[in-house]
Amino acid sequence: MTVEQAAELTLTPVRSGVGVSVPRPDGTLKVSGRYAYSSDLWAADMLWGATLRSPHPSARIRSIDVGSARAMQGVHAVLTHNDVPGRRTYGVERPDQPVLAWDVVRYQGEPVALVAADHPETARRAVAAIVVDYEPLEPLCDGDAAIARGARKLRENDNEVHRVRIRHGDVESAAGLADVVVSGEYEIGMQDQAFLGPESGLAVPAGDGGLDLYVATQWLHVDRDQVAASLALPHDLIRMTNAGVGGAFGGREDLSVQIHAGLLALATQRAVKMVYSREESFFGHVHRHPAKLRYEHGATREGDLLYVRASIVLDGGAYASTSAQVCVAAASFACGPYVVPSAAVDCVAVYTNNPPCGAMRGFGAVQVCFAYESQMDRLAAALDLDPVALRRRNAMAEGSVTPTGQVVRQPAPVNELLERLRARPLPLAPPTGGRDPRELPGGVSNTTHGEGIRRGVGYAVGWKNIGFSGGLDDYSTARVRVSAAAGEPLVEVHTAACEVGQGGITVQAQIARTVIGIEHVVVLAADTGVGNAGSSSASRQTWLTGGAVEAACRAVGEELLGRAADRHGLDPRDLRLRDGGVASADGSVVATLAELLDEPAEATREYRPRRTTPLDENGQGDVTMAFAFSAHRAVVDVDVELGLVRLVEVATATDVGKALNPQSVEGQIEGATAQGVGLAVMEEIQTVGSRIRNPSFTDYLIPTILDAPAMPSEILELPQPDAPFGINGVGESGIVSSGPAVMAALRMATGRALERMPVRPHELAGATAAGGASA
Amino acid sequence: MEFLQPSTWEEALAAKAAFPDAVPIQGGTDVMVEMNFDRRRPDVLLDLGRVRELADWASDAGSLRVGAGVTYARVIAELGAMLPGLALAARTVGSPQIRNRGTVGGNLGAASPAGDSHPPLLAAGAVYEVASAARGARRIPAHEFYLGPKRNALEPDELIAAIYLAPAAGGQQFAKVGTRNAMVIAACSFAVAVDRSARTIGTGIGSAGPTPLQAPDAERYLAGVITDEGLWESGRLPDEAVLERFGALVADAARPIDDVRATASYRRHALTVMGRRTATWALRDGR
Amino acid sequence: MRLKCTVNGEAQEVDGVWEGESLLYVLRERMALPGSKNACEQGECGSCSVYLNGNLVCSCLVAAGQAEGADITTVEGLAREDGLHPIQRAFVEAGAVQCGFCTPGFVVATHDLLRRNADPSEMEIREALAGNLCRCTGYTKIVDAVRLAAERLELERRQA
């Protein structure tokens, strides 16, 4: 459909306020196939863009010959780095990534050239006709190797993107006092967001020399800034609209087609559509950082934690992306939601020639949770304590101090979350034999009729940040307009907060409905016509954009009360908005909204939560705006001979502050939990020599509906101080501890150490090189 | 690219003779993936979807003739009782959407070592009928059909017509290992067919070698023990150690490699386990 | 080449189709029916599910020419004259929609399941929908939606 047709699509008005499971306003469009995703957009006379990507993870570019591609019929433009008019690099935190590579390529899949043609197949053939002469170099494939002495330098200085060093308490002394010390080395593979809607967008050149960009993204304003810089255009000539987004999970925080489609559109003066295939998508966005984590925990014989030492290497791949912030998060949360009097944490994010890594749901908190929770289980075993009891003994609570020296000034119900899970009845143990294969490890593949199955139960608890950390100026903006549309008062909410599937537009409308009290609320498309909303990440949009919407609604309400007061000679402090009108203190109606809305009332407000501070040289500081806590209990059946798994149930307990839309809250928790368990048992981008071996949904497996466990959720609502309506972010907490809980359950079932996530069948089955099982 | 769409078998063979490089397409579940991923750009696509002769199965003198265009969904729904091994394998192919389109003939044409049909067809001693306009039909036993990774015994002018095999005369089982419980390509797979009238055991190994394989030593060993110990008559199961040994011989017959789906050693290990388990079930099924 | 077929009850005829195009591309880019989604192009995700002559298929794996003369129903053809199909309503109400990219495929696949099996068990639901990937919901609410739709359709049958 055209962008004009897309703009005409109407969302279902939201007519309920906060606390109600009102259906999504875009639900009707989505179930009927009429919702406008970025890949659905179309323009008359439009061209198709395609990208030539490097086949090598590390190589010098000797030459690029675009002659025969340009000569092909139906090809309208072939562009290289020479055709980038502005800044030749981009990046969400630091601009170190070439728009189009020159001189060298640093990862397999790095964009080298662009084509615009009249049919996608023509564009593919033209891409194939571009001749690039590469001199392949030996890639740097491993995070440890990147910081080893004598490693080849991928950048001028060294291969470190960022390093965080936390020194809290006195680890040396604590180590002397410990009765029990456990250590471990853990590893996490590279996870992909695997959102269902591949990257896509439509760039339309405008009459004023600027550009209208319709792209599926998470953060319009930072996209716009980067596009403007590379196209050498003023910001106000780049108008960005968030076209329908098919999932994000962090993978759309970095640019994909934005600059490329813009370059092609300006070069051809035609609308240009770019849509990545699934394979290209695997090369076209950043992934979750693979990590190696070395830990040492010391405790008293009663089970009180004395200290934690942690050394963490995050493989950032070829470019910086958000590695620095992931590094801060991983370090800050490295010790878990426990009282740890002394901690020494060293966390480094490094450059390699692997695929670039950046934001993915959980953002640094996921990797460390696997390590610290594995350590807690190991410590419990060493002390002969119940793992839940050990966790509860050391659990943080409100007022606890984190290893960065921050006092937790909010509910921190770690104990209660674990208690809730422990109190849940366990699912029934498997009957022996004769069962439906779909309820057994291996599923329809018919690998067991009951043989070899052992059940395991595991617990894990996790924490992560809400909002941007470490002193970044985090804020959002909302414009709210109330008018009379055909006699009925209408509230229009306009923000740049990207709806990525999470239901942001639902809760924005619910907030407006509650604050202004007008029944008919619509949320307008997110675009750069309104101020910055920040990214749809860090579990922050409901809080920050919700806060901005609340503030703008209150301002509009005051405007309406003021109008009523002026017109009726009353004191506005005595007036209230009620039932579509303005009422006095005794409840009598002073004015109807219809009469006050002879002119629309409008207000724009920014919302800023409490400020954070950067970490100092000892890694101390109030880095985190707010914390999210959650816990999981996983019940698994494992075929210990074949190493196959069935996830029986993964129960969650989460503190959500206040559920503005309980159904959406559950949806966030269930979806995040499913991604976390996917990481535990199947999801990994495998690389060999920095090349991706499985860039497809045939070999990068995500859970199907038959793999997904039952996911009952216990939801606590302990109000967050300072947050609008007392809410807490819920977008990510479900992913942090779900994988570690599954790993704990798998350990119980198999008796194996399982220090790597995702776990592979041969590790669960313990097949040896000789082919025998030691199970 | 040319798109040919014969409606009779004769026309299809003529088209293949005229364009030996033409890529046959039936359900599209392999060919279209290669097209969509830009792995293949044939000059000619030969759509066999309208060739009536391919789309049916029939019983013929104690043998079944299954047309190459019969979908997995129909194998499950219509042939499950007679060909339980093939039906079990068919149930693990992709998703309902794939089983509605994908065909056993297509699986043979692609000849991927991971194709789910091959192990049960090998185990059941199937024979494939192929044909050309020039030389007419010929039959190839399943175990002579697979020449290498994605290479089969078809001549350039030939097409696959049908599969011949006898209805099961004993238990048949199929199992496959993958890291997902549905919609997964085999990391390795195994099929076993017990033939109580011929007193033989058939085997088929998938995804653990350059081609689908059989395990002749395992077949002879297990059939030998059953015969020697009079178990065909008694219906008793062989000892656990015998079944274990069968599994080990199955694994010995494999020629696996390390790849993105599994390690070679895990594949051998899994075959040992699957061999033991499926043989146990198949012997129990048919008593 | 030229392609003629019937889509959602309407005769369609398009020219200039490249022989290597999929039915999905034809629907989305040539027939202005973008409801079927393009998410993997290899039959692994089910987002492009349509009925082809009454069979549930992945339209990304049907060569355009194979659809010549075929009767096709897409998600756009499932709604009733008076509004959404009960399956579509159930998906909205149960919270089975988040980003929604997988939703059209799930709706069509659920439609196929419920016409074959009016009262599926949970495991039957899960096996029948295993070819449709969802990355947002974790599937719990999709199972709820299918159950809700089955109940509603059963009620409709009783009232009819």
pLDDT band at B275 (very low <50, low <70, confident <90, very high): very high
What is the predicted pLDDT for the residue at A432? 60
CB of B140 within 8 Å of a chain A CB? The answer is no
What is the predicted pLDDT for the residue at A775? 33
Using CB atoms, list chains with 3+ pairs below 8 Å to chain B.
Answer: A, C
Which chain A residue has the Cα nearest residue C141?
Answer: A667
What is the predicted pLDDT for the residue at A772? 37
Distance from CA of C157 to the nearest CA of A (A): 22
What is the predicted pLDDT for the residue at A431? 63
Do residues B88 and B173 touch, judged by C-beta distance below 8 A?
Answer: yes
Distance from CA of A277 to the nearest CA of C (A): 7
SS3 state at A450? coil
What is the predicted pLDDT for the residue at A157? 75
Question: CA A535, CA A567: separation in Å to the nearest integer?
Answer: 42
Distance from CA of A358 to the nearest CA of B (A): 24
Considering only the beta carbons, identify the residue of B177, B182, B274 that sits closest to A704.
B182
Structure token digits, residue A303? 């089970």
Which chain C residue has the Cα nearest residue B3?
Answer: C19
β-pairing verdict for A211-215 and A238-242: parallel
DSSP A46-101: -EEEEEEE-S-SSEEEEEEE-HHHHHSTTEEEEE-GGG--S-SEE-SSS--EESS-
CB of A765 within 8 Å of a chain B CB? The answer is yes
Instruction: With CA atoms as reference, report the closest residue to A731 among A351, A425, A466.
Output: A466
Q: How far is CA B25 from CA B35, B92, C45, C72, in A?
A: 11, 21, 21, 20
Q: Which A residues in the span 93-152 are in contact with B, Cβ-Cβ below 8 Å? A: 124
Q: Do C63 and B97 touch (CB under 8 A)?
A: no
Q: How far is CA A268 from CA A75, A78, A118, A210, in A?
A: 10, 10, 11, 13
Which residue ranges of chain A lie beneath pLDDT 50? 767-775
CB atoms closer than 10 angstroms to residue A135? 11
Q: How far is CA B141 from CA A775, B104, C26, in A?
A: 39, 15, 41
Question: CA C48, CA C59: separation in Å to the nearest integer?
Answer: 6
Which chain A residue has the Cα nearest residue B278?
Answer: A447
CB of C44 within 8 Å of a chain A CB? The answer is yes
Question: CA C3, CA C1: separation in Å to the nearest integer?
Answer: 7
Return residue ranges of chain C for CATH 1.10.150.120.
Answer: 86-159
Number of CB pairs < 8 Å for B and C? 90
What is the predicted pLDDT for the residue at B286? 66
What is the predicted pLDDT for the residue at A579? 77
SS3 state at B173? strand
Q: Do A441 and B181 touch (CB under 8 A)?
A: yes
Do residues A53 and A109 touch, judged by C-beta distance below 8 A?
Answer: yes
Question: CA B86, CA A381: separation in Å to the nearest integer?
Answer: 47
Q: Which residues pair with A188 in a beta bridge?
A: A291, A757
CB of B265 within 8 Å of a chain A CB? The answer is yes
pLDDT band at B287 (very low <50, low <70, confident <90, very high): low
Q: How far is CA A660 from CA A271, A726, A727, B94, B186, in A?
A: 40, 10, 8, 39, 44
Structure token digits, residue A749? 């079932």
- Give the class (CATH, top level) of C3-77: alpha beta
Which chain C residue has the Cα nearest residue B23?
Answer: C20
What angle (nearest 5°) sits at the alpha carbon of residue A519, between those of residues A516 and A521? Answer: 80
Question: CA A421, CA A398: separation in Å to the nearest integer?
Answer: 20
Q: Which helix (H) or strand (E) holds A589?
A: strand A589-592
Domains along chain A with CATH numbers: 3-34+475-607 (3.30.365.10), 38-137+198-245+252-284 (3.90.1170.50), 143-192+289-366 (3.30.365.10), 414-464+626-774 (3.30.365.10)
SS3 state at C3? strand
Do residues A539 and A502 touch, judged by C-beta distance below 8 A?
Answer: no
pLDDT (tens digit per residue) in B136-164: 999 999 999 999 999 999 999 999 999 99
Do residues A380 and A386 touch, judged by C-beta distance below 8 A?
Answer: yes
Q: How far is CA B114 from CA B140, B205, B213, in A?
A: 20, 9, 11
Question: CA A602, CA A598: separation in Å to the nearest integer?
Answer: 13
**Cα atoms in the Cβ-side hemisphere of radius 13 Å centred on A292:** 10
Which chain C residue has the Cα nearest residue A36?
Answer: C34
pLDDT band at C160 (very low <50, low <70, confident <90, very high): confident
SS3 state at B91? helix
pLDDT (tens digit per residue) in A146-155: 999 889 999 8
Which residue of C26, C61, C116, C125 to mutate against B (max B Cβ within 10 Å)? Answer: C61
Which residue numbers of C have CB closer than 8 Å to B's CBs? 1, 18-20, 22, 41-44, 46, 49, 55-58, 60-63, 65-66, 68, 109, 112, 126-128, 130-132
The CATH superfamily assigned to C86-159 is: [2Fe-2S]-binding domain (1.10.150.120)
**Per-chain mean pLDDT for chain B:** 97
Q: How far is CA A700 from CA A279, A381, A685, A696, B5, in A?
A: 10, 34, 7, 6, 35
Given a cut of 60, whether residue C38 has pLDDT beyond it is: yes
Structure token digits, residue A484? 């009379």
pLDDT (tens digit per residue) in B170-194: 999 999 999 999 999 999 999 999 9
Which chain C residue has the Cα nearest residue A33?
Answer: C35
DSSP A296-312: EEEE-TT--EEEEEEEE
- Determine what percent of chain A is predicted with pLDDT higher than 90: 93
DSSP A530-563: S-----S-TT-HHHHHHHHHHHHHHHHHHHHHHH
What is the predicted pLDDT for the residue at A769? 36
Peptide bond into A758 cis (omega under 30): yes
DSSP A334-362: TT-SB--SEEEEEEEEE--SSPPB---TT
Instruction: With CA atoms as reference, report the closest residue to A669 among A730, A716, A737.
Output: A730
Instruction: With CA atoms as reference, report the closest residue to B160 among B19, B48, B40, B27.
Output: B48
What is the predicted pLDDT for the residue at A424? 97
Q: What is this structure's pTM?
A: 0.97
Query: Cα dihedral sign for A584, A587, A588, A589?
Result: positive
Q: Do B29 and C18 touch (CB under 8 A)?
A: no
Structure token digits, residue A767? 């097949």
